[in-house]
Structure formats: structure tokens, C-alpha cells
Structure 1
Amino acid sequence: MEKGKKRTREENKEEIEAESSDADHSLSLEQNLTFSDTLVALRIMRAQFPQIDKVAIQPFILQSQLYSSVKDRTQVDRELESLRREKVVRIFKLNTGQDDHGIMLLDDYIKQIEHAVKRMEERKQRDLKVFEWFKVYVIESKLEPSIEHQELCSLLSLGGRVKDDHISLLINAGLLTRQLIDPSMYWFAIPNIGSILKGISQGRKELLSLLNRRRYKEMMLVPLEKKRLRLSPLDMRFHLRDLIGSGHLKTAHSPTGIVVRVSKD
């Protein structure tokens, strides 16, 4: 069984990389708004993830963006669950004040962990072996977005003797955040994502405000996509997919192209 799983993950990874390298950044959103399945949507959006100055972050996709790109939400949920179980992607609960989930390819997430470890090395932190235990024992076996303190310690102890300092290191590196409701539970987190999460929230407000100021609260997609947001490091395409998928915006076809308008309800 494990062999079959491994092969699926490798096949998916190769497929994603092949398609990502072909994804045309110059294609307008109007030309590639919807896709046939979740994996196709994931790999195209990964390739189109904006380059962000001064923030070292691997590409990630919001679940809402997948909902905007694949017509059937149930299909997205089902295919995402399969990709999670096959260890192709990891799903993260994002701290944006909404029920947001981020999706990152597992291989990209491992690179993100390695970057976090490098930063810890530069700060001359000790006990860095805990990061290897985290990668080998925790990430490989705990596929859900959260983990309980006792289970975390138990998995880490497969690598060596666990101390409180080890858990603090993982939190300081941005790999775990404590759940507010239950302090004995942690969310898995993407290191270095703080400023991007702020940009997601601010970009949403800015885009909705832009459309709300227009006479019919709508705009043609092509000129809208070319506008730049002041308050977000992410591009307009990223925010449009997000707000369409979350239902804040909707699209309609007109003789001159796609119209984007603010949802009434």
C-alpha cells in the first residue's frame, strides 16, 4: 500500500512541475478562470503565485481560490482530501480572522521549513535537531491541520528526548501556533507568512472598496485585473480568485467579456 502511495505522490509531483513550467504567466484571468480538476488548478496557480519582494515564501493557494476555479465544490473537497492523504499537499488553517485555509505542496513546505531552520542557525540557536525530528516524525505521520501537545511530544520523542525548549523553538520558527480556545492544541503553520496574511486581509478590503465605489458595483474583468492594489503585496489575480471563490464577488458573461460584480447578499 505504502509503495502505491509513494508512487502517486511522485507522479503528482512530476505532473505539477511539468505543468507549472508550462503555465503562461501572461495568460489573462479571463483566459484561465476555470479548470477541470483541483490538481490542474493547484499547479497553474502555484506557477502564477506572485513574486513578493523581501519575503521568502514558497507558493501557496487559498481553498477559496480553488472554489473559484473548479465549478464543483464537493469535487474540490474530495480531491483535496485525496492529495492530503497522499502527502502531495498540506492544508493550513490561516490566522486571518476568517475560516481561511492555505494549501502548499508538501515539497514546497519542506523548503519553507529548511529556510526557517537557516534563519535559526543565523541567530545561533541551539537544539536545532528538533527540526529534523519534526520533518521526519511529525510531518510524515500527522496529516491534519492541528496536533495535540501530547501527540506532538510523543512523535518528536521518536527522534530524541523532548524538552519544553524544543516546542518553543518550533513556535518561534513559525511552524506551530497555539490554538486560543485550547492551549494544549497547536495549528501547523507556514513560517514567514505573517506579512502575507496581513496583505490578504487588506487586499480583500481594498478590492471590495474599489468595486463598491463604482456606479453598479461592477467592472469588466480585463481592466480590473490590470489594476494594482496599494495595500497588498499579492497581485489582483490572487485576490480576484479568492473573493470569487468565497462568494464576495461573482462573475457574469457579457458580449464584451466577463464582468465582476459585488455579490448582493
Structure 2
Amino acid sequence: MENPASGPGAWSSSSRKRRERDEQEETPPDTDATGHSLSLEENFTFSDTLVALRIMRAQFPRIDKVSVRPFILRSQLYSSVDDRTQVDRELESLRREKVLRIFKLNTGQDDHAIMFVDDYLNQIERISKRMEGKKQYDVAVLEWFKIHVISSKLDPSIGHEELCTLLSMGGKVKDDHITLLINAGLLTRQLIDPTMYWFTIPNIGSVLKGLSQGRKELLSFLNRRKYKEMMLAPLERKCLRLSPMDMRFHLRDLIGSGHLKTAKTPSGLLVRVVKE
């Protein structure tokens, strides 16, 4: 018997909620009423998690040669909304409403990425279209995955047996289907338990490498300064050599993860390395 909370009705209901939220937005979220593009200092903190998510999604940097939809790190939200308990509570609510998904990242740290469900489904659709012309791929499993797995399994991970049960609602499941989902970048096996999978964001590998390198580069830059600090405004304008992400992306991440902190001064916000 189908769970009414995870059936097609719930999926269409959550889609309507997302559309209603979209219709409420009249101006681009990273600009003011006059269309002026806001600096990081001008929109550094927010009172609402969804507003913060929308602004950071709009500010996600364009990455050459990598087809990945915008995502936001949980640490970036922690830097932008003062109450971390509020962030976690609102993220959980948005996750259950199927507005967004949360992914555990393979960075060696406790990193989590947040992606709007519409963006994630769009990325799966792109993969499906790319594979359609190749006869060796049974792309029907991508549709099964989208309709039966993504719509009902909201956690960051899933067991092999449950995955096969959900996929079988679309058709007969073969080992090749699971292999295709892994090769497409939608799943990865957990190292500790090979019968469990993490849901993953396709094409994110090179971006994660740049994320780690950019963190090190920014911290190294600030550590070389006399007082290990710099005003936020000029720091935001600097470019990183080793990361495809921009300075704003890395500053929000490192402030939210506690590696950097800010202090208000008469001249504006100061960014300082946190002493270990």
C-alpha cells in the first residue's frame, strides 16, 4: 500500500508550495530595490533560512566546464543566520516539505550541501538526456529513481534493499541499474557499510577538490598577514587561484565553520583567523 505522505499527491503538493514561494519573489534576491548588486557586507546576515538559501543560490558562482546546479553549504548558513538551532529546525522543515535535499559531502570533514529539489531534478534530467543516445545505458532507471526514490526517500543515505524495492515500482531492477546510478554520480557506496549508499550531487567531484584547496589558500593568505586579519570589503574582491568558487563562497563557509570570525569596526567588518 502506498504511503500517502510520499505518494504523487504529496509530490504535487510540495511542487505547488515551491511555485508559491517562487511567485512571492519580485526582485532578484541578491539585489536591492534599485537593482544594485549587494556586497557580502551589505547582505551578510539574515533572519530567515529560506531567504538566506535563495540569496546564496542566486550568488552561486558560474563554473566553467562543470555542469553542476547551485548548492549551499550548511556552514554557509551558520555564518548567515545567527541562531544555528533555528537553521537546523528550518532546514528539517524544508527537507520534509521536499523543497530541498541535504547531501553528505566526501571532503573528509563534516560537510553537508543543500540543493533545491527543483535544481536536483533538473540535473538528473540533464544526465538522462545525455545518456539517451547511448544504447549501452538503460536510462529508464533514472526516471524510476526520480519518481520513486527521490520523492519518497528524504534522508542523505539509503540501504541497498530499500533502494531496489523503491526502484522496482518502476520496473524489474538489475545490478546494471545500480551501477548506472553510481556511474551517473547519483549514488556512492559507503565505505563502512557497502550495502548502504549516500545520495550524491552529479559532477561535484572537481568542485569539492577546489573547495578544499580554496579553504587552504584563503587561510594561508590571512595567516601570512601581520595580524592574521583583513577588512571584509577588500578581501571579498580578491581572487583565489586554486578554487573555481569565488571569495564570497569561501568566506561564508570558513566563518560558519569557525575557522574565521568577524568583528565590527568603525570602518566595517573585519575578518580574522581564529586562533587554535
Q: Which residue of 2 aligns with 1:217?
A: 228
Count of equivalent residues: 263
Indicate the SS of the match to 1:29: coil
Among residues 169, 183, 190, which one is paired with 2:180 in the alignment? 169
The correspondence of residues 137-156 of structure 1 with structure 2, limited to 5 A, is 137-156=148-167
Q: Which residue of 1 aligns with 2:193?
A: 182
The CA deviation at 1:57 is: 1.1
Alignment partners' CA distance in 2, 1:159 and 1:41: 37
Q: Which residue of 2 aligns with 1:259?
A: 270
Matched, 1:61 2:61: no
Among residues 1, 11, 15, which one is paired with 2:20 in the alignment? 11
Q: Which residue of 2 aligns with 1:51?
A: 62
More helix by share: 1
Indicate the SS of the match to 1:32: coil
Among residues 236, 252, 255, which one is paired with 2:247 in the alignment? 236
* Residue-by-residue CA offset, 1:35-54 (whole Å, 9 max, x unaligned): 11100000000001011111
Task: Give the aligned residue type for 1:225.
Answer: E
Task: Give the aligned residue type for 1:82.
Answer: S
* Residue-by-residue CA offset, 1:127-181 (whole Å, 9 max, x unaligned): 1100000000000000000000000000000000000000000000000000000
Q: Report if the CA contact (8 A) 1:204-1:239 is conserved.
A: yes
Alignment partners' CA distance in 1, 2:200 and 2:26: 27
Q: Which residue of 2 aligns with 1:199?
A: 210
Indicate the SS of the match to 1:141: coil
TM-score (norm 1): 0.95
The CA deviation at 1:7 is: 4.1
Q: Which is worse superposed, 204-213 or 115-124?
A: 115-124
Matched, 1:84 2:95: yes
The CA deviation at 1:22 is: 4.3
Q: Report if the CA contact (8 A) 2:29-2:54 is conserved.
A: no
Residues 248, 19 of structure 1: alpha-carbon distance in 2 compared, 3 angstrom cutoff: farther
Alignment partners' CA distance in 1, 2:249 and 2:138: 38
The correspondence of residues 25-36 of structure 1 with structure 2, limited to 5 A, is 26-36=37-47
The CA deviation at 1:126 is: 2.4
How many percent identity over aligned positions? 75
Task: Give the aligned residue type for 1:21.
Answer: P
The correspondence of residues 92-103 of structure 1 with structure 2, limited to 5 A, is 92-103=103-114
Q: Report if the CA contact (8 A) 2:137-2:180 is conserved.
A: no
The CA deviation at 1:21 is: 2.8
Gapped regions of structure 2 (runs ≥ 5): none
Alignment partners' CA distance in 1, 2:245 and 2:136: 32
Indicate the SS of the match to 1:102: strand
Q: Which residue of 2 aligns with 1:125?
A: 136
The CA deviation at 1:264 is: 1.2
Residues 196, 144 of structure 1: alpha-carbon distance in 2 compared, 3 angstrom cutoff: same
Residues 114, 6 of structure 1: alpha-carbon distance in 2 compared, 3 angstrom cutoff: closer
Gapped regions of structure 1 (runs ≥ 5): none
Q: Report if the CA contact (8 A) 1:120-1:173 is conserved.
A: no
* Residue-by-residue CA offset, 1:103-128 (whole Å, 9 max, x unaligned): 00000000111122233235443211
The CA deviation at 1:5 is: 4.9
Alignment partners' CA distance in 1, 2:26 and 2:201: 24
The CA deviation at 1:9 is: 3.5
Alignment partners' CA distance in 2, 1:128 and 1:108: 19
Task: Give the aligned residue type for 1:23.
Answer: D
Indicate the SS of the match to 1:109: helix
Residues 20, 204 of structure 1: alpha-carbon distance in 2 compared, 3 angstrom cutoff: farther
Q: Which residue of 2 aligns with 1:246?
A: 257
Indicate the SS of the match to 1:21: coil
Indicate the SS of the match to 1:177: strand
Indicate the SS of the match to 2:151: helix
Residues 93, 14 of structure 1: alpha-carbon distance in 2 compared, 3 angstrom cutoff: farther
Alignment partners' CA distance in 1, 2:200 and 2:210: 17
Indicate the SS of the match to 2:207: helix
Matched, 1:21 2:28: yes
